[in-house]
Amino acid sequence: MTGLSDKQLAALRKRLDKRELELSAELAAINSEAIDGPARVPQEEVSDLADLGEAATRETVRQAEKDRDALELRQIAAAKERMRQGRYGLCIDCGAPIPRARLEVQPASERCVPCQEAFER
C-alpha cells in the first residue's frame, strides 16, 4: 500500500506520461540533428583544430544528452510498471513509503531520500 489516493496516482501518472512524450521528442530531435546537423564535420571541411575540437565537443554533449534522456525514459517506464504492480511510491530498497512531496518533484523516484543518498555514495 502506497498511501496515495487514486486521484493522486492518476495525476502522477499523467505527469510521467507528459515527461515521457517530452523526452521522446527531445531524443528524436537529437537523433535528427545528429543525422542532419553539423556536429560531424568531414575532415576536409575542418579549417583548423579549433573547428575539429568544437565538432567533437558538440558530439560529446549530444551523446550525453541522449544518454541522460534514455536513462530518464527507463526510470519512467520502471515507475509505470511499479504503478501497475501496486508498488509505486514505495522505496525499492527498504520498502518505506516515498514522501508524496518527493514524488511530486520527481514522479519517477524509486527510492526514499536516505536510500537514494546511500545509493549515490
State the pLDDT at residue 35: 67
- Cβ–Cβ under 8 Å, residues 114 and 91: no
Calculated CA dihedral for residues 107, 71, 35, 25, nearest 10 degrees: -10
The DSSP-derived string for 37-61 is STTS--GGG--SHHHHHHHHHHHHH
Question: Model's pTM, two decimal places?
Answer: 0.80
Phi first, then psi, for residue 110 (nearest 5°) are -115, -5
Sign of CA dihedral 38, 33, 77, 106: positive
Q: What is the pLDDT of residues 33-76, one digit of tens each?
A: 766 655 455 555 556 767 778 888 888 888 999 999 999 999 99
Domain boundaries, the chain: 6-88
pLDDT category at 90 given cuts 50, 70, 90 is very high
Q: Which residues contact 98 (CB under 8 A, 6 or more apart)?
A: 89, 90, 91, 109, 111, 112
